[in-house]
A and B are shown apart, each in its own frame.
Chain A
Amino acid sequence: MSDSKPAPSPANAGAPDVLHIARLARLAIDPRQELELREQFTRILEAFKTLSTLNVDGVEPMTRPTDFTDVMRDDREHSSLGLDETLANAPARIETFFSVPKTIGGEQ
């Protein structure tokens, strides 16, 4: 998918590409932290691999903790928060907009 992503070198094949993940999360990572973060990431993923040792043949994937289906609401309006409350914690606002660093040319 990504043309800019460097091919993983044999030494860290299978290790998570933390810089790629940081880019997706719009996080600026100091490249010097890359190794440390990769080791931490790897340990987390290793821990989760325990799950893969279980035999789940014939078990339906479960994506939710309940068996509910079709929980819906009627198309009725509730009152909105109000401008003051909505914008209360905004670091910056202009008129009633949230004002954020210029982000044109990014995703979407």
Chain B
Amino acid sequence: MSTTNSEIGYVSPKTQVRWIPVIGLEVHCQLKTWTKLFCGCRNEFGATPNSRTCPVCTAQPGALPVLNREALELALRTALALGASVAPTSKFDRKNYFYCDLPKGYQISQFDQPYCTGGGITLESGKRVRLTRIHLEEDAGKAIHDRGDTTLVDLNRAGVPLIESVSEADMQTSQEAFEYLTALKEILQYVGASDCDMEKGSLRCDVNISVRPEGEPWRTKVELKNLNSFRNVQASIEFEIRRQVEAYESGDPAQFPVQETRLFDAEKGVTRSMRRKEDAHDYRYFPEPDLPPITVSAERLDRLRSALPELPTARRARYQKDFGLSAYDAGVLTADRALSEFFETVARLSKLPKEASNWISNELLRNLNDPLLPIRSIDELPFRPHDMSLLLGMLDKGEISGQAGRKVLRAMFETGKSPKDLVASLGLEQVNDSAALDDWCREALVGKDKIIADVRAGKTKAVGALVGPVMKASKGSANPQVVQEILLRLIAEMPS
């Protein structure tokens, strides 16, 4: 670990006592299968409510669940990518509770024989966050409470495959929790297990958190829910650390944290006690008799392991080594597998890895994040890596200016046309040696006696202030390097 003990924990502003937070995360993640876990209904977000249902996922009498092979495959790939050990045999259990979004009255889950245990994630600091286990289970339906006097139930989500990853309570700061989640999400996306889209609920995170004075044993832990972004996970942890420390430091045992579930209110940035879960933990698990056990052979694991894609950490290291990218740029480009593959293709085709890195991590991502454009992901791009590499080639040869390059890229997003065509149709060829350039430069020099004097006195950098106006006059078509040379030449030619 790169941090020393003296840096860890939260020092109470009131007592100067150092409190150590103890944080563990439970992450539910929907698997990206075509159909549900135990039936052939489509696993699809946003369909008409209750249109993706059948006798199995609505719990009609006599219906028999059958495991989706692909769900197990994705779950196994995730386990291997996280360095976990897969059990040779595992089974399903029924977790019993009654709620309107759970038609069977139980959730099919895994209790004492999860398909995988151990593994973990190494944070940037080198700290290892261990995983306790991952298990496979079905999602519940969706209950909507904020529309009218009744609760509305949609069973499209009932039976969607989930894996729940439970970490050890190895984290001590909100930042570590954030890094852990980011790394976990990257891995899930890289192995193709999940979209991890928190807005669509395909990744959900609960936090278990307690605090203790340095050197003392663990205290009562609190569960935080309703965290629909990584930022909310961080904010709720930070609030909860302060709240628990203040509660203990009040000295009044009636105020001490109790074992409970608290909901995060993102607007106010606070956590609030949910109704105490009295007997909610009494799930009376028992083995699911409708589903036979799962066996996974060592040979199958070897095959799956060798088919895993290169994982983000390895890829980042390779980008730094082979392409000379900074750790930061390598991180930006590998955060998303599709983006990273796009970058590699562009770098290979253009043979300009650094330029590819700059243009993709800045300009391309800027357009992807622009709400005025309908394109949200690499998969939706209307042009190919080949087009992007052509653009970089033109920039590299000085055929177009950087400003023109940005316009062309924008037009590529809008029209999907090739950059060559766009440069021509938009009239963006770089003007390197025309009479127009000389004229624009002469105009720019008018009345700029101070700058001219500075340049003559040897401060050639002063001419930089005039390049902008010339670029503007040329509507971005001028080559700034050439403009600078012309300006210097004109100043030299002026009678003193």
Q: Do A and B bind each other?
A: yes
Q: Contact between B294 and A3 (Cβ–Cβ < 8 Å)?
A: no
Asked if B274 is at the interface of the complex by the 8 Å CB criterion, the answer is: yes
Asked if B365 is at the interface of the complex by the 8 Å CB criterion, the answer is: no
What 1/0 mask marks residues of chain A from 78 to 96 whose CB sits below 8 Å from any chain B CB?
1011110011000010111
Cβ–Cβ < 8 Å partners of B101 in chain A: 108
* Shortest Cβ distance from residue A73 to the other chain B in the assembled complex, whole angstroms: 5
Cross-interface CB contact of B98 among A72, A76, A81, A107, cutoff 8 Å: A107
Asked if B373 is at the interface of the complex by the 8 Å CB criterion, the answer is: no
Q: Contact between B55 and A81 (Cβ–Cβ < 8 Å)?
A: yes
Asked if B97 is at the interface of the complex by the 8 Å CB criterion, the answer is: yes
Asked if B144 is at the interface of the complex by the 8 Å CB criterion, the answer is: yes
**Bound Cα distance A68, B289 (Å):** 11
**Bound Cα distance A74, B276 (Å):** 42
Asked if B153 is at the interface of the complex by the 8 Å CB criterion, the answer is: yes
Cβ–Cβ < 8 Å partners of B97 in chain A: 24, 107-108
Asked if B281 is at the interface of the complex by the 8 Å CB criterion, the answer is: yes
Known: A69-B295, A76-B40, A100-B153. A106 touches B50 (CB 8 A): no
Q: Contact between B145 and A73 (Cβ–Cβ < 8 Å)?
A: no
Cβ–Cβ < 8 Å partners of B148 in chain A: 94
* Shortest Cβ distance from residue A6 to the other chain B in the assembled complex, whole angstroms: 12
What 1/0 mask marks residues of chain B from 267 to 298 whose CB sits below 8 Å from any chain A CB?
00000001111111110100111011111000
Cross-interface CB contact of B279 among A24, A64, A66, A92, cutoff 8 Å: A24
Asked if B496 is at the interface of the complex by the 8 Å CB criterion, the answer is: no
Q: Contact between A71 and B67 (Cβ–Cβ < 8 Å)?
A: yes
What 1/0 mask marks residues of chain A from 36 to 57 whose CB sits below 8 Å from any chain B CB?
0000000000000000000000
Cβ–Cβ < 8 Å partners of B282 in chain A: 1-2, 20, 24
Task: Tell me which of A20, A74, A98 has the highest count of chain B C-beta atoms within 10 A of its own C-beta.
Answer: A98
Cross-interface CB contact of A103 among B33, B68, B151, B155, cutoff 8 Å: B151
Q: Contact between B293 and A69 (Cβ–Cβ < 8 Å)?
A: yes
Asked if B207 is at the interface of the complex by the 8 Å CB criterion, the answer is: no
What is the interface of chain B, defined by CB distance below 8 A to chain A?
33-35, 39-42, 48-55, 58, 66-72, 89, 91, 96-101, 140, 143-145, 147-155, 274-282, 284, 287-289, 291-295
* Shortest Cβ distance from residue B157 to the other chain A in the assembled complex, whole angstroms: 13
What number of A residues sit within 8 Å (CB to CB) of B? 47
Q: List 9 A-B pairs, Cβ < 8 Å.
A: A80-B42, A82-B51, A86-B53, A94-B148, A97-B153, A100-B151, A101-B151, A103-B145, A105-B275
Q: Contact between B152 and A99 (Cβ–Cβ < 8 Å)?
A: yes
Cβ–Cβ < 8 Å partners of B68 in chain A: 72-75
| Interface residues of chain A: helix, strand, loop or mixed (majority) | loop
**Bound Cα distance A80, B287 (Å):** 28
Task: Tell me which of A66, A80, A82 has the highest count of chain B C-beta atoms within 10 A of its own C-beta.
Answer: A80
Asked if A63 is at the interface of the complex by the 8 Å CB criterion, the answer is: yes
**Bound Cα distance A89, B463 (Å):** 81
Q: Contact between A2 and B278 (Cβ–Cβ < 8 Å)?
A: yes
* Shortest Cβ distance from residue B286 to the other chain A in the assembled complex, whole angstroms: 8
Asked if A32 is at the interface of the complex by the 8 Å CB criterion, the answer is: no
Specify the chain A residue showing the minimal Cβ separation from B295. A69
Asked if A65 is at the interface of the complex by the 8 Å CB criterion, the answer is: yes
Cβ–Cβ < 8 Å partners of A65 in chain B: 289
Q: Contact between A69 and B292 (Cβ–Cβ < 8 Å)?
A: yes
Q: Contact between B49 and A95 (Cβ–Cβ < 8 Å)?
A: yes
Q: Contact between B287 and A98 (Cβ–Cβ < 8 Å)?
A: no
* Shortest Cβ distance from residue A83 to the other chain B in the assembled complex, whole angstroms: 6
Specify the chain A residue showing the minimal Cβ separation from B153. A98
Cross-interface CB contact of B152 among A69, A75, A97, cutoff 8 Å: A97
Known: A63-B289, A94-B150. A77 touches B34 (CB 8 A): yes
Specify the chain A residue showing the minimal Cβ separation from B261. A108
Asked if A70 is at the interface of the complex by the 8 Å CB criterion, the answer is: yes
Cβ–Cβ < 8 Å partners of B144 in chain A: 97
Q: Contact between B150 and A100 (Cβ–Cβ < 8 Å)?
A: yes
Cβ–Cβ < 8 Å partners of A106 in chain B: 99
* Shortest Cβ distance from residue A102 to the other chain B in the assembled complex, whole angstroms: 5
Specify the chain B residue showing the minimal Cβ separation from A1. B281
Cβ–Cβ < 8 Å partners of A26 in chain B: 98
Instruction: Please give 17 more A-B residue pairs, beta carbons under 8 A apart, in addition to A78-B35, A80-B51.
Output: A3-B276, A4-B279, A24-B97, A64-B289, A69-B293, A69-B295, A72-B69, A76-B34, A94-B147, A94-B148, A96-B50, A97-B152, A98-B154, A99-B151, A105-B275, A108-B97, A108-B280
**Bound Cα distance A73, B150 (Å):** 37
Specify the chain A residue showing the minimal Cβ separation from B98. A26
Q: Contact between B41 and A80 (Cβ–Cβ < 8 Å)?
A: yes
